[in-house]
Amino acid sequence: MSVTVEGGDEVIAALKRLGRNVDAEVGAAVEEGGEVIRQEANRLAPGPHVVMEVEEGKGFASANIGPDEEHWYYRFFETGAGRHLITGTPLAFEGKRGMVVTGAVDHPGMAADPFLRPAFDGKQGEARDRVEARLKKAVNG
């Protein structure tokens, strides 16, 4: 999902005239707006392991929001998963009655229970307002 700031070229020009580090200011604004969505995603997620990385470039920034590396499997909550076979040599995991060691497990799959999309849909206006306020503050002092 992408959000473009209307009048962004004028904001960048104003920041440059003021001698501000444009990439840092835009990155900070995107981080502030993204934090609104990250917090909501954490509230809706199966656990509080949603993180954000902000990438800055020449007059642009992007916020990548999603589960941390250890909780990669949260993507299945977002999209669901069909029935599938999980194999291993051996496959070992903690089951309801203790350690299970087997060659394969027939996983029944799971329905989607999204948290990222609802967080974005519900908080994008507030996030946009935060980005705008941060940029105005940077320009106006």
Band (15; pLDDT cuts 50, 70, 90) = confident
Identify whether the C-beta of residue 74 lies closer than 8 Å to the C-beta of residue 42.
Answer: no
Helical axes 22-44 vs 8-17, angle rounded to 10°: 130
Radius of gyration of the chain (CA): 21
Q: What residue type is assigned to position 71 of the chain?
A: H
Residue 45, token pair as written in the block: 């997620």
In the chain, how many H helices and how many E strands?
4, 4
pTM value is 0.81
Residue with tokens 């990669």: 72
Half-sphere exposure of 11 (CA within 13 A, CB side): 21
Between these two residues, 48 and 59, which has the higher pLDDT value?
48
Q: What residue type is assigned to position 86 of the chain?
A: I
**Mean pLDDT over the full length of the chain:** 90
